[in-house]
Structure 1
């Protein structure tokens, strides 16, 4: 008598779904990190440009150059705003995928727990059968010695 889990196909499907959810979550994490890094570099570039502009203003800067710097900073601020929106969306998507992954994990754990309980019950039945068989063998041997 061998153990057969009646929900094995469902467990396999749930494990596959969990793996897909894990992959999607990892993709979302990578996308978030990528966009966040671009935002960081843009913010750092803006900070460096502003610091550079302040140095040039203190040493003397013509109006045309000042306008050029200001236009560049304005464009950079638009880029930063764009990346902030992308980071927000990527974080939101990552959080959604994380939630789905947690749900898939819980589903798999439920079926694994059921499998463990069924296996434990199976082992009890096997042990009971073994004990019954041993008792019958002992009785047979006792009866054979007595004759």
Structure 2
């Protein structure tokens, strides 16, 4: 009779939940990194437009041209604000997922330790049974030969 852990199904469910959460966490983290890069690019583009406006301000510049630059800067600021909000929301979701993932990992470890303990107990009981059978066989041989 082979060893069967009575909570094997529960442990598999906990393990699959943990793996699913790890996958979700990883995809959220990658999305967060992507948004961070987009945010950095937007800030650099805004800075470039501001620098270009600054360079044109040293020369004679038409008001319409200046309005275009200021409009572009305003658009970059709006896009940066929206990306910042998106980044904050994702970061919040990621932070909420961390303790849940940690708890799932701890629960899985508990089940694995319980399984290991049960396996050791099972192995020890099987060894005792084998020893008992060997003793019985040995005593039968002594009685039959003696």
The normalised TM-score by structure 1 is 0.90
1:60 Cα deviation (Å)? 3.7
Q: Report the count of equivalent residues.
A: 146
Alignment partner, residue 122 of structure 1: 122
The normalised TM-score by structure 2 is 0.90
Whole-Å separation in 2 of the counterparts to 1:60 and 1:137:
110
Determine whether 1:113 maps to 2:113. yes
**Aligned pairs (5 A) from 1:83-102:** 83-102=83-102
Provide, for residues 79-125 of structure 1, a one-character-per-residue CA deviation record: whole Å limited to 9, x for no partner.
Answer: 11111111111111111122222111111111111111101110110
Q: Secondary structure at the match of 1:68?
A: helix
Q: Secondary structure at the match of 1:137?
A: helix
Provide, for residues 111-147 of structure 1, a one-character-per-residue CA deviation record: whole Å limited to 9, x for no partner.
Answer: 111111101110110111111111222222223332x
Alignment partner, residue 54 of structure 2: 54
1:43 Cα deviation (Å)? 0.7
Q: Secondary structure at the match of 1:2?
A: coil
Whole-Å separation in 1 of the counterparts to 2:52 and 2:139:
99
**Aligned pairs (5 A) from 1:35-54:** 35-54=35-54
The answer as to whether partners of 1:28 and 1:97 remain within 8 angstroms in 2 is: no
Q: Secondary structure at the match of 2:46?
A: helix
1:62 Cα deviation (Å)? 2.4
RMSD over equivalenced CA pairs, Å: 1.5
Determine whether 1:144 maps to 2:144. yes
